[in-house]
Amino acid sequence: MQIIWQPKIALIFFLLIFFIIYFFYLSGEKKYKKDTFQTMAYFSGKTPSQNIKLQNIYWGFFEDFKKLYMFLAKIQKENSNDYIFLFILGSIIFLLALSL
Amino acid sequence: MFDVVLKFIMMLIVIFGSVFLGLFFKGIDRILSAKMQRRIGPPLWQPFYDVRKLMIKESVIPKGSIKWIFELFALVSLTASILILFYIPILGKSILGNSGDLVLIIYLFIFPGLSLVLGAFSSNSSYSNLGGQRLIINMLGYEFPLAIICLTPVWLVYKKGFSNIFSLNTIYEHNVWGLTSPLGIIGLLLESIVVFFVIAGELSKTPFDIDTADSEIAGGVLAEYSGRNLAMFYMAEAVKMIALASLFIALFFPWNIQGNFGIMFLVYLLKIFFIIFISSTLIKTVTSRFKISRLTRFYWGYLSLFAIIGFLFTL
Amino acid sequence: MINFIFLTVIFLIIIGLFGTMFKKNLIKLAMSINIISNGVNLFLISLGYRQGGIAPIFTNAPNLKMVSPTPQALILTNIVINLAVTAFLLSLSILIYKKEKKL
Amino acid sequence: MTSHLIILIIAIPLLGAFLLPLLNKFGKRIKYFWLATVLGLTDIFSFFLYLLIIEKGEVVYTLGAKFPLLVSPQGFPIRIILEADALSGFLSFIFLSIIFLIFIYSLKILSNYSFLDKFYVLYLLLTVGILGFLFTGDFFTLFVFYEISSITTAGLIAFFRSEECFKSAFHYLSLFAVGSLFLLFGIGILYSEYGFLNMGIIAKVLQFSFLDKVALSLIASSLLLKAGVFPFYFWKPEAYKVSPISAILLSIISSLSAIYILFRIFLGVFGVNLIFGWILILFSIFSIFMGIFLAIKENNIKKILAYLAISELGYIILGISSGIVMLNNDFGFKAIQGGLFHMVNDILDIGLLFLIIGVVIYITKSKNVLEIRGFGHKYPWLAGFFLLGVFAISGMPPLNGFASKIIIYESVFHLSPVLTIIGILGSILILAILIKIFAIIFLGISPEKYQPVPKTAMAVIFVFAILMISIGLFPGQFTSFFINPAAEALVSQQNYICK
């Protein structure tokens, strides 16, 4: 029988499971002491500023591709000479590939 | 009307059964890894006590966090992991088998990790932020070998010319090992080794648990979660273990002795135990944690290399 | 004779491309784009060439042989477009010069 | 009246663009009313055109002829001809309705900038450029519309009148001037060999000599430049960084129309040849990964979304070109369907993200949006819709991104499993990048005081979200009504060549 992706069935079952679990979830404890020391985020050492910089968030991922990023940053400077040079280079590559 | 009721009951069985099984195997896993480190370890039903205790404790919402994201994604992670089990053929046809396939399951596996990451980012503490970033790096890592492994059986089924090759039911019926040449068998063996590492990575067990690294970032992703939200994530992780194990059983180890339902279910439990023992208990006690920058190199370098070699063997 | 024209076309285009790729000055860049455009126009004109044909004006055309009119129509539009592009480029370089004091 | 539909769809925005400065004298209210009628009318006409095409098949319209719909006796019209078949009709309807929505969105968002009538003149001219791409029947009008859209996009880039905008407008325009001259050179070569300009006839008489290959590569590289795919993607981040939000969305749509005309030329005129298909598949794989690799490192929000737009285009071209390469078995047709379906989903997904980023910029009025903003606290609806957009782009199951990506993955698998693996890996990487943006902008504490989100902007974002969810939940009906006739039109080459 041909597999056709039916999103409606998936959504219905997702919601059914969600409600059953929500029903179980409600039996848990809801109250907590608001605005006390309990809700402060846990810091073991000196408390840094509330927001840490998320900019270079994929530090681990970059480490392995450091050389590639250096190369990419080098060839792509923002001026029209480089743009036109890259465009002509690309169309020459395209022509060579096409004429194989 | 009758089969709707039947389906509803089946659904209830699968939901509570998967949660029960997940916590049960989590208990066994903790006892075995304790025994391997020559300590006694917690009683068998410890995970159930944990869940009950968590349900009673207060579930604190951290001050700076957004309430609806914080709680919604705790529930979403549990529902998504249970929904995966609906699409995996455990002992025959899967419940929703004819409306979803392998690509859907690969994407559904992203949901629990994703909701963990969103929960961590929304709980506004630098430890959980760090944990969330590391979990994304972990997810980026294991997706590549996971995709290769899941698609090799599809390739084998495709080579044999079966119809709708992506549905798990066809893969489950045609035993993958029987479809290939002897060279392919070696390739599949290689891939099944990679399977165990991918399961360890996806459950973020020790060599890959950079996100809940207790020594480095104090509980990491779930630092700010408590009470019933933490219970949800706890159960989601247990169910995900069962879902992953049964996915790879359906793909790589589908043998089963023909008996009545009880024996076949028992064999299925034994297979799950076998996979979970190797992938999470054995690897957890043997290896130590990866440095973050070495993690991607291990995933995309060695693991996917073996997976690709295995895949090429099966060509 | 024909390939002599194509040589000049290729020559013009190469000069223009050289100008755009290696000249930093914005005005020179606009000029070299103009050169490429003229090169392409020359190429199009040379396609419609007939031996000894006259300009394709219909009044005295019935007895004499005309040069084919379609490429000339193309070139008219291309010249207009090139005018618009160069005007825009030069006005942008004026604005850049006003702010940055060097081209 | 119905026979003049095509030319009306192009003429009305043109007329609207030229009358706009005049009407601006009478005040803002009339200008917006005029713009709304112009865009609304063209949108309705394009829907009627689509219905006309569905029942009567392809429409060929020769400009200036007494009986425009009759092909002249010698069998091919000399004049400029416009062609519309199921694919271009469907695309024009989708593009025009989205352009209308973007116009309503930018009513409030851009209201505090001066020279707004100049903006909307360029806005309408760019719509004309896009429609021109969809309906051209011959190469030279393609060149003219190529020029129109590149000059107007350069104008839109320079709209904010800052020094940085002028520089990037200059870079953009000089690059596209050279690109259009390459296009003209390619057309000249084809004209020199066959003496015709319109695509239908050249497709009939074309033999695939070396000179044709040169011409094809020139035309294809200038169109790929317009589309912003792998080898020619470098201009996009700088252009998107400085141009206003609605201009970015319009240039995404014009990239899609460039992809449409590229495949129209590739399939209709040059016929199915495998080298060209394989080159495009290679380009799409590189553009998926290049887009993601550069987006991870970036810190400017518009640049990140520009790179993601490049990798989404990569998916579209991957689907369509691999469909073309394996056209003989039925999976090729499914791949083309997946590619076209992804075209529609891509505009909605990337569009929704850009709309929300536009609202964030409108509220914070800061250039670099990527600081901790904590928008989630005060704007829960924005956070929810952004999350919806994130899930849709990375292809999470119930939404429309998944509906088209699953078709692409499963049909591309028959060509080679490597493509499916790349696709799955690409979407998880896109997800990782967008989660970072979501976390930075919407989560975390920040002293952001509450400003009401403009009603019109919120309404358009809501409409985009509804469209995404409904396409995601009912992919079957959407494909059968819209995508199937369009895919057949693209594939069937005979009725494209002049009857």
φ/ψ region of B188 (left if φ > 0, alpha if ψ in -120 to 50, else beta) reads alpha
What are the structural domain ranges in chain C? Answer: 2-100
**Whole-angstrom Cα distance, residue D350 to residue D309?**
7
In sequence order, the β-bridge partners of residue A74 are none
CA distance B22 to B25: 5
Separation CA D99–CA D39 (nearest Å): 8
Q: Does residue A70 belong to the interface with chain D, where contact is any CB pair within 8 Å?
A: no
Tell me how far the alpha carbon of residue D36 is from its chain's centroid.
21
**C-beta of residue A3 within 8 angstroms of C-beta of residue D391:** no
For residue D181, name the pLDDT band (cuts at 50, 70, 90).
very high
Do B and C make contact, counting contact as 3+ CB pairs within 8 angstroms?
A: no
pTM (predicted TM-score)? 0.90
Q: Using the beta-carbon criterion (under 8 Å), do D396 and B110 form an inter-chain contact?
A: yes
- How close, in Å, is residue D129 to chain A by CA atoms? 22
Q: Beta-carbon neighbour count of residue A44 at 10 Å?
A: 8
In this prediction, residues D444-468 reach a mean pLDDT of 83
Q: Write the single-letter amino acid at B148.
A: I
CA distance B159 to B147: 18
Q: Which of D395, D420, D427 sits opposite B151 (nearest CB)?
A: D420
The two three-digit tokens of residue D480, written as one number? 């059968």
Q: How confident is the model at residue D497 (pLDDT cuts 50, 70, 90)?
A: low
Which of A13, A23, A34, A68 is the best residue to mutate to test the B interface, defined by the most B CB atoms within 10 Å of its own CB? Answer: A13
Provide mean pLDDT across the span D264-279: 81
What digits encode the pLDDT tens for the residues D349-392? 999 999 999 888 888 877 776 776 777 788 888 899 999 999 99
Query: Residue C57 contacts by C-beta under 8 Å, 6 or more apart in sequence?
Result: none
Q: Is the per-residue pLDDT at D499 higher than 50? A: no
> How many domains is chain A built from?
1
Distance between CA D154 and CA D128 in Å, rounded?
15
B283 interfaces chain A, CB cutoff of 8 Å? no
Do residues D147 and D90 make contact, with C-beta atoms less than 8 angstroms apart?
no
Using the predicted structure, report yes or no on whether residue A41 has a pLDDT greater than 90.
Answer: no
Map D84-121 to HEC letters: ECHHHHHHHHHHHHHHHHHHHHHHHHCCCCCCHHHHHH
Find where tokens 């040849």 sit: D273
CB D175 to CB A76 under 8 A? no
Mean predicted confidence (pLDDT) in D324-333: 83
Top mean pLDDT of A26-40, B290-304, D275-289 is at: D275-289
Q: Are D127 and D98 in contact (CB under 8 A)?
A: no
Check pLDDT > 70 for residue B189: yes
Which of D151, D169, D178 lies closest to C84 in CB terms?
Answer: D151
Q: Does A86 touch chain C (CB under 8 A)?
A: no
In the numeric block, the tokens 């997702």 are attached to A14
**Portion of chain D with pLDDT greater than 90, in percent:** 30
pLDDT of residue A25: 85
Residue B215 reports pLDDT greater than 70: no
Question: Which residue's structure tokens are 């408390």?
Answer: A47
Judge whether D2 and D52 are in contact, CB under 8 Å: yes
Residue A35 lies in a domain: no
Higher pLDDT, A43 or B185: B185
- On the question of pLDDT at D451 being above 90, the answer is no
- List all residues of chain B from 254 to 293 with a beta carbon under 8 Å from chain D: none
Token representation of residue B52: 């009950």
Decide: B120 and B129 in contact? Cβ < 8 Å: yes
Question: In the prediction, which pLDDT does B9 show?
Answer: 86
For C40-59, give the secondary structure using H, E and C.
HHHHHHHHCCCCCCECCCCC
Higher pLDDT, D102 or B124: D102
Q: Which candidate, D233, D291, D224, places its Cα nearest to that of D263?
A: D224
From residue D362, give the alpha-carbon distance in Å to each of D43, D255, D309, D442: 28, 25, 22, 15
Low-confidence ranges of chain C (pLDDT < 50): none
Residue D253 has pLDDT above 90, yes or no: yes
Question: Does residue D411 contact residue B122 with C-beta atoms inside 8 Å?
Answer: no
| B65 → chain D, closest CA residue | D444
Q: For residue B100, which phi and psi values (nearest 5 degrees)? A: -155, 160
Give the range of the structural domain holding residue A76, as residue numbers without chain letter: 55-100
pLDDT for res B249: 87
Tell me which chain D residues have a C-beta less than 8 angstroms from the C-beta of A80: 170-171, 174-175
According to the model, what pLDDT value does residue B265 have? 85
Q: How many C-beta atoms surround the C-beta of residue B255 within 10 A?
A: 9
pLDDT at A62: 64
CA distance D184 to D222: 10
Q: Which residues of A12-37 are buried (b: 16+ CB within 10 A; e: fewer)?
A: ebbebbbebbeebbeebeeeeeeeee
Q: Assign D136 to helix, strand or coil.
A: strand
- Interface partners of A (3+ CB pairs, < 8 Å)? B, C, D
Q: For D120-154, write each residue's pLDDT tens digit.
A: 999 999 999 999 998 888 888 899 999 999 999 99
Is D237 a residue whose pLDDT tops 70?
A: yes
Distance CA B306, CA B197 (A): 11
CA–CA dist B248, B254 (Å, integer): 9
Per-residue pLDDT tens for B75-124?
Answer: 999 999 999 888 888 877 777 767 778 888 889 889 888 998 888 888 77
DSSP letter at B300 equals I
Contact (CB<8Å) D166/C96: yes
Q: What is the pLDDT of residue D184?
A: 92
Note the pLDDT of residue D183.
93
Sorting pLDDT into bands at 50, 70 and 90, what band is A52? Answer: low
Coil, helix or strand at residue D404: helix
More confident residue, D163 or C61: D163
Q: How many CB atoms lie within 10 A of CB D89?
A: 30
A29–B58 C-beta distance less than 8 A: yes
In this predicted model, what pLDDT tens digit does every residue of D3-60 receive, in sequence order?
778 888 888 898 988 888 888 888 888 888 888 999 999 999 889 888 888 888 777 7
Subunits touching C (CB < 8 Å, at least 3 pairs)?
A: A, D
CA D405, D418, B163 angle in degrees (round to 5)? 70
Contact residues for D432 (Cβ-Cβ < 8 A; gap 6+)? A58, B136, B139, B140, D296
Distance CA D51, CA D254 (A): 23
Which pLDDT value is given to residue D96? 92
Q: How far apart are CA A10 and CA A14, in angstroms?
A: 6
Query: Residue A97: its pLDDT value, please?
Result: 87
B110 touches chain D (CB under 8 A): yes
Q: Which of C100, C21, C38 is nearest to C75 (CA)?
A: C38
Q: Are B259 and B105 in contact (CB under 8 A)?
A: no
- What pLDDT score was predicted for residue A2? 61
Q: Following CA atoms B29, B32, B38, B40 in sequence, which dihedral angle do they give, to the nearest 10 degrees?
A: 80
Going by the DSSP 8-state scheme, the letter that residue B282 receives in this structure is: I
Chain D residue nearest residue B308, CA to CA: D418
CB contact under 8 A, A32 and B125: no
Are D234 and A83 inside 8 Å of each other by CB?
yes
Query: Distance between CA atoms of D249 and D230, rounded to whole angstroms?
Result: 19
- Total domains in the fold of chain B: 1
Are D177 and C33 within 8 A, CB to CB?
A: yes
Give the count of beta carbons closer than 10 Å to the beta carbon of residue B47: 21
Residue-level pLDDT at A82: 87
Q: Please give the average per-residue pLDDT across D306-335, as a whole number.
A: 88
pLDDT at B10: 82
Average pLDDT over residues D147-170: 91
Mean pLDDT of chain B: 83
Domain that holds residue B135: 2-313
Taking CA D392 as the corner, what is the angle to CA B12 and CA D394, rounded to the nearest 5 degrees? Answer: 95
* CA–CA separation, C26 and C79 (whole Å): 21
> pLDDT class for D492, splitting at 50, 70, 90?
confident
What distances in angstroms separate CA D2 from CA B84, D39, D46, D61, one per listed residue? Answer: 52, 18, 11, 12
Q: How far apart are CA D379 and CA B24, in angstroms?
A: 42
Give the mutation candidate from A77, A78, A79, A80 for the C interface (greatest C CB count, under 10 A).
A80
> In chain C, what is the straight-line distance between the N-terminal and C-terminal CA atoms, in Å?
42
Q: Is the pLDDT of residue B264 over 90?
A: no
Instruction: Please tell me which residue, D468 or D59, carries the higher pLDDT value.
Output: D468
Tell me the per-residue pLDDT of B124-180, one tens digit each, with 9 for 90 and over: 777 788 888 888 888 888 888 888 888 888 888 888 877 777 888 877 777 777 777
